[in-house]
Structure 1
Amino acid sequence: MKKALIAVTMGDPAGIGPEITAKALADEATFDYADCIVIGDKKIMEQAIQITKVPLKINTVSKPAEGKYEFGVLNLIDLNNVDMSGFEFGKVSGMCGKAAFEYIARAIELTNTGETDAVATTPINKESLHAGNVPFIGHTEIFAALTNTKDPLTMFETNGLRVFFLTRHVSLRKMLDMIKKERIEDYIVRCLEALKRLGVNDRQMAVAGLNPHCGEHGLFGDEEMKEITPAVEEMQAKGYPVTGPIGADSVFHQAAQGRYNSVLSLYHDQGHIATKTLDFNKTIAITNGMPILRTSVDHGTAFDIAGKGIADAVSMVEAIRLAAKYAPNFKKI
């Protein structure tokens, strides 16, 4: 069977992105999962290969179709956008922020045109993006803008557990104000559609509870009674395969055991703690709701260890694996 072709962005040159890219592509498991084309800078990738001591040869190409997809070969589209005289590991740099943005933009372009099947991204640095006058604060915002997507959905997956987030980067106080019936209904529809586009149609989606024991009929909070349960019941009446609310102390375990195809987490840490406790290194972010498929490691640039060759590539291997897993069934908007 033909393998999916994944565009891998090198990430911030001053971070661990180049190293985990090199290590991942030197892993036979990655080669078994997918064919990969790296978008980055040849000078940085040569340095990463030397630092990590992996047996890779760089094959520079201008487009994915020119790649030699053989084990031991790192196919690279070289944007040649890093001036080594001004380069330093582990430092915020406008040059590196701008370069990282350009790798992402090219990967999106290649996947939009069908030259690659999906994108797997390595870490970028928000401060470096700002220093490079890139008008976005992170990957999701870049992908949203460059794919004309209004509100991308983030889904985490680790060891078969899939988690969506009703709210993310807001305070707990503000999160409580966002737990509204209409918002929950909207997310149920969008999350189930995202799963369908990934080819996931089995079992039900579960909505996590908010309060201890889902509020115990108002004893410990009334959000379940007023907002969450009415939303779930209305969506059930419309035929959507969803259940809940189910106590957050059990729903993630149940989903990991296969009872549910996914969980709608109500706030950031509720879902992050569940997935990262299950398997921190293999928790992968999948950005849904876009015309293209994107997966990503869920860790940062690790400036403190960049250039030392000790960065763990497990997450990068997993990000490529999931991109390849979903790419054949992914349905474009």
Structure 2
Amino acid sequence: MNSTPPLVISMGDPSGIGPEIVVKALSEKNAGHCVVLGRADVIRAAAEQSAPGKTVSVLSKIEDASGAPDLVEVLETDGDGPFPLGEVSAESGRAAFAAIRKGIELAKAGKASGLITAPINKEALAAAGLPYPGHTEMLAEFGGAERVAMMLANDEVRTVLVTIHCSLRDAIDRGDYAAQMSAMRLAHEGCRALGIENPRVAVAGLNPHAGEGGLFGREEIEIITPAIKAARAEGIDASGPWPGDTVYMQARKGRFDVVVAQYHDQGLIPVKYLGVEKGVNITLGLPFVRTSPDHGTAFDIAGQNIADATSLSVAIDYARKLAATRNKTEEAA
């Protein structure tokens, strides 16, 4: 038995590519000690097609995980099929949700070193009657954190979002002073967890040209700039607001360590343009480590054994690094 708790990976929506990329990622030599949460029959079918050298082993409890390299170890969670490939399904939504809930439970209890989540489908969650637009909202509700934020990262840029899954109209209202402060604090803490001792936090403006001195909106003057000043008073190296159309170019050149974006697409488009296969989603503010790949369920290619597992492999690597940093911090405290 391995004395260090394993990382756990939720299978994602079983109608999508989640099970396939999970078994592919676990077939890599450096995958390490991981346990899959979900339906064993789904994982077994994916392994037979995409990782024939692996044997699926069903655990009765997570403490029985051996970490043996020839096994895909599965801790079963609730869910009844059928799980039609490539289709939105209420059954798939419920099964995906059950795996996530189990992962949160294990991570909070310290029985898992961290949680990695394979992609879920928002329509499937809605069909199952589950009121969550994404993982982040589930993690916020069940994860035991007052505020969370999404960090998207690759080897060129990092970004943290002030607002996440909401309409653009609502994002303007939700990006208040408290939200700005929370995002800057979490961006600072998240970068430190990644080994950046003194993170340089660039804050993007909401309006074109960061408001152009009030000509295109006053949010920068009345909300964002005061929050930046307050963050600096706390010792955070925050600057801005910078125009959203150029700040990521500056970050890629090494001027900033992380960019705080005001809304979903402002932050995610630059990161995903650089390649979703390199990106990872990190949830900041939780009492445990959580990462995920930077792409969706890809129903159009589900079951075809052509899905790329690179982003999930990167998410596993990030989770392991973050868990190690967290452990060192807790030991030093």
Distance 1:102-1:230 versus aligned 2 partners, 3 A rule: closer
| Contact 1:184–1:231 under 8 Å retained in 2 | yes
Structure 2 match to 1:314: 310
In the comparison of the two structures, how many residue pairs are matched?
Answer: 327
Which of 281, 286, 291 is matched with 2:287 structurally?
291
Amino acid in the other structure paired with 2:8: A
Structure 1 match to 2:13: 12
- Considering only aligned residues, what root-mean-square deviation do their CA atoms show, in Å? 2.7
SS in 2 for 1:18: helix
Q: Which moved more, 1:214-223 or 1:237-246?
A: 214-223
Amino acid in the other structure paired with 2:137: E
Which of 108, 111, 115 is matched with 1:112 structurally?
108
| Contact 2:143–2:287 under 8 Å retained in 1 | yes
Residues 1:46 and 2:47 are matched in the alignment:
no
Q: How high is the TM-score relative to the length of structure 1?
A: 0.87
Q: Following TM superposition, where does structure 1 have runs of at least 4 consecutive aligned residues deviating by more than 6 angstroms?
A: none
Residues 1:65 and 2:29 are matched in the alignment:
no
Amino acid in the other structure paired with 1:43: D
Amino acid in the other structure paired with 1:52: S
Which of 193, 198, 201 is matched with 1:202 structurally?
198
The Cα offsets for residues 18-76 of structure 1, whole Å up to 9 and x where unpaired, read as: 101111111224x2xx3111112221111101222542112222233322323332111
Q: What stretches of structure 1 of length at least 5 have no aligned partner?
A: none
Question: Could you say which structure has the greater relative contact order, defined with CA pairs below 8 angstroms and 6 or more residues apart?
Answer: 1
Which of 247, 250, 256 is matched with 1:251 structurally?
247
Name the % identity.
Answer: 38
Distance 1:253-1:4 versus aligned 2 partners, 3 A rule: farther
| Contact 2:162–2:183 under 8 Å retained in 1 | yes
Residues 1:168 and 2:164 are matched in the alignment:
yes
| Contact 2:7–2:116 under 8 Å retained in 1 | yes
Distance 1:251-1:49 versus aligned 2 partners, 3 A rule: same
| Contact 2:202–2:242 under 8 Å retained in 1 | yes
Distance 1:5-1:205 versus aligned 2 partners, 3 A rule: same
Give, in whole Å, the separation in 1 of the partners of 2:178 and 2:135.
Answer: 27
Give, in whole Å, the separation in 2 of the partners of 1:103 and 1:287.
Answer: 17
Distance 1:43-1:276 versus aligned 2 partners, 3 A rule: same
| Contact 1:10–1:100 under 8 Å retained in 2 | yes
Per-residue deviation at 1:208? 1.6
Per-residue deviation at 1:80? 6.8
| Contact 2:206–2:262 under 8 Å retained in 1 | yes
The Cα offsets for residues 247-304 of structure 1, whole Å up to 9 and x where unpaired, read as: 3333223323433221111222111111112222222111111112111122222222
Q: What stretches of structure 2 of length at least 5 have no aligned partner?
A: none
Amino acid in the other structure paired with 1:312: D
| Contact 1:179–1:223 under 8 Å retained in 2 | no
Give, in whole Å, the separation in 1 of the partners of 2:129 and 2:173.
Answer: 34
Which of 91, 115, 121 is matched with 2:117 structurally?
121
SS in 2 for 1:281: helix
Residues 1:300 and 2:296 are matched in the alignment:
yes
SS in 2 for 1:230: helix
Residues 1:217 and 2:213 are matched in the alignment:
yes
Give, in whole Å, the separation in 1 of the partners of 2:19 and 2:164.
Answer: 28
